Amino acid sequence: MTQTSFASDHKKWINEQLFDTIPLGIAVIDPEFNLVYANSAFEQLFGSWKHHKCYNIYKSREDMCSYCESTLTFKDGTPRINEEVGYDRSGRQIRYLQHTTPIVDEDGNFPFIIHIFTNITEAAQIRDEYQLLLDQVPCNILLIDRNFRIIKANKRLRDWLGDVQDRYCFETLKGLKHKCTECTARQTFTDGQMHTGYHSWQSKKGKILHFHVITVPLKQPNGKFDLVMEMAVDVTQTLRLEDGLKFANTFLETIIATSMDGIFAVNERGKITIFNPAARKLFNIKNNQVVSREELAAMLPTGFLAQVSELPGHVYLPEIEVKTINGEAFPVRLIGNRLMADDGAIGMAFSVQDLRKIKQLEQEKLEAERLAAVGHTVAGLSHGIKNLITALEGGMYMLNSGLSKGNIERIQKGMEMLVRNIERISIFVKAFLSFSKGRQIQAKYCDPAEIAQEVVDLYAVKAAKLGIVLKNEKLGDVNPAPIDYESMHECLTNLVGNAIDACQVSEGAGCHVTVRTFEDDGAIIYEVTDNGCGMDYEVKRKVFTTFFTTKGLGGSGLGLLMTKKIVQEHGGKIDLESVPGKGTTFRISLPRLRLPKVISKEA
């Protein structure tokens, strides 16, 4: 093997064969741009070429290119290299590098030009994709050198901060005159590892954004690197949401912890997640004591948990009994909410309000009202007694003066007066005893309108005889309610009886009495209206408050007092409107929430 044998034999081979062996397309054109010669790699790329102009083949054009490098090289003989877009033999678009080199003859002219092609279609596409990715990825990307100068920035960052190339990163991003004390890029420069950090960057207008930053070394195959790529994701919005969430959380926790009402919650698996101090106090549960779902279910009304978890919205029980963990029952107002997220139930939340204090206050108020009524009754009683004593004294006077004058008629009259007023005393005493004792209200579910109907039926004959039109009206639906039937019957009997009496006193014809039963704003209402004599101010003022009668011997003066007492024992109130000569309306209002409890049959 000698060098000389290579020079002679192989040079010959190269000169003859290399042209078709080389994997680069090579073509030769004349000054008219006719393709005059080409190798097989060229044919592989562009197809057959004979009798064609270069632009016919490279660019699939009929006319010459408007800008032509080869024209220039024919003139000045300078080799050129440029990137072109053309079409391959199948018509697919390709990208290639074109080297343009003149063939120089002995006279120094350029009769032909050689074109050498490098197909870079795939590389160009990868490069374009990379650029697109770099510019469009939703984060800021920059390359930093060891001097902390920005070598390159993606479009997103340039759009935000303008031209940043060759400037210091700390200056550009943070407006600092020196390097940052905590520098994520420096960590990567130091150990060649990936690092993360949080940084706040400032725009030229002073707007501050917060970034989660990742730095990675841009390593060469030998492991060395002089550039770090920094990727910064904008977390400003996330941080703001986190802050909002933190605030909402603290706010809620404070409210729950300090609420006067008991608040507790269970998650979707039935585990108790919240049991606030008020709830612990109510249910007598120690601060660190864990409550199981079974224990919770036992404290709440039977089936309540299931009811809340099955019904949409919330379940509201205005008055219900629950139990402490030790099984002691007490009345509460209870609300259960099913908590819903986008994809279904996430648990239940409950609020519970202790009704014991409220109940006690209500009881005390009723008792105070009862005592006041007794006080008024005693005052009224003394009024009645004074009249009785005066009448008795009158009887005695008639008797004595009749005796001394020997006047039999007067003696007889005196006796009658004494007997009559002693009889009145006994009526008074009986009525007063029944009032002061009363009887325990015994509420049972009944139809409020039925009581009114029965009272109206009771007076139907009497009213018809007196020519009074007596009507009963039920307006809309009135649901059954816990009421002491007998007592309410007595109330309405008193009111209707009074109304009929008022009609008798008045002289005008066409008298009517109407009883109405209806429901208004959660209360059962009875109205008894007449167009009888009505009442003036003095009578109205005293009608409920004294042992008051305007009916002389006809009334005990206790009917309305009794009525008021019964209404109050049902948690309701009674009032009246009256115009002298026009008539009177009494209105009993019984809020359902305050109605007495039903006395169970077993009890």
The footprint of other proteins (CB under 8 A) covers 379, 382-384, 386-387, 389-391, 393-395, 397-398, 401, 410, 413, 417, 420-421, 505, 533, 536, 538-539, 548, 550-553
Nearest distance, CB of residue 559 and other proteins, angstroms: 14
Nearest distance, CB of residue 503 and other proteins, angstroms: 13
Q: What is the 3-state secondary structure (H, E, C) of 72-102?
A: HHHHHCCCEEEEEEEECCCCCEEEEEEEEEE
Q: Which is nearer to other proteins, 44 or 382 (CB)?
A: 382
Nearest distance, CB of residue 581 and other proteins, angstroms: 10
Nearest distance, CB of residue 498 and other proteins, angstroms: 12
Nearest distance, CB of residue 530 and other proteins, angstroms: 15
Q: Which is nearer to other proteins, 131 or 400 (CB)?
A: 400
Measured in residues, the chain has a length of 603
Burial (0-12, 13-18, 19+ Cβ within 10 Å), 286: exposed
CA 494 to chain centre: 51
Q: Which is nearer to other proteins, 126 or 505 (CB)?
A: 505
Q: Which is nearer to other proteins, 345 or 371 (CB)?
A: 371
Burial (0-12, 13-18, 19+ Cβ within 10 Å), 367: exposed
Nearest distance, CB of residue 452 and other proteins, angstroms: 27
Instruction: Return phi, psi of residue 208, to 5°.
Output: -105, 130
Q: Which is nearer to other proteins, 93 or 412 (CB)?
A: 412
Nearest distance, CB of residue 372 and other proteins, angstroms: 15
Q: Which is nearer to other proteins, 333 or 413 (CB)?
A: 413
Find the Cα–Cα–Cα–Cα dihedral 482, 484, 490, 493, rounded to 10°: 20
Nearest distance, CB of residue 496 and other proteins, angstroms: 18
Residue 179 CA: distances (Å) to CA of 208, 226, 400, 476? 18, 18, 127, 82
Instruction: Return phi, psi of residue 474, to 5°.
Output: -110, 120
Residue 525 CA: distances (Å) to CA of 13, 75, 572? 122, 114, 10
Q: Which is nearer to other proteins, 333 or 424 (CB)?
A: 424
Cα–Cα distance measured from residue 426 to residue 536, given in angstroms and rounded to the nearest whole number: 30
Q: Are strands 93-103 and 112-119 parallel, antiparallel or unpaired?
A: antiparallel
Q: Which is nearer to other proteins, 38 or 381 (CB)?
A: 381
Residues whose CB is less than 8 angstroms from the CB of residue 350 and which lie 6 or more positions away in sequence, other chains included:
262, 263, 264, 265, 308, 334, 335, 336, 337
Instruction: Return phi, psi of residue 146, to 5°.
Output: -65, -15
Q: Are strands 329-341 and 469-475 parallel, antiparallel or unpaired?
A: unpaired
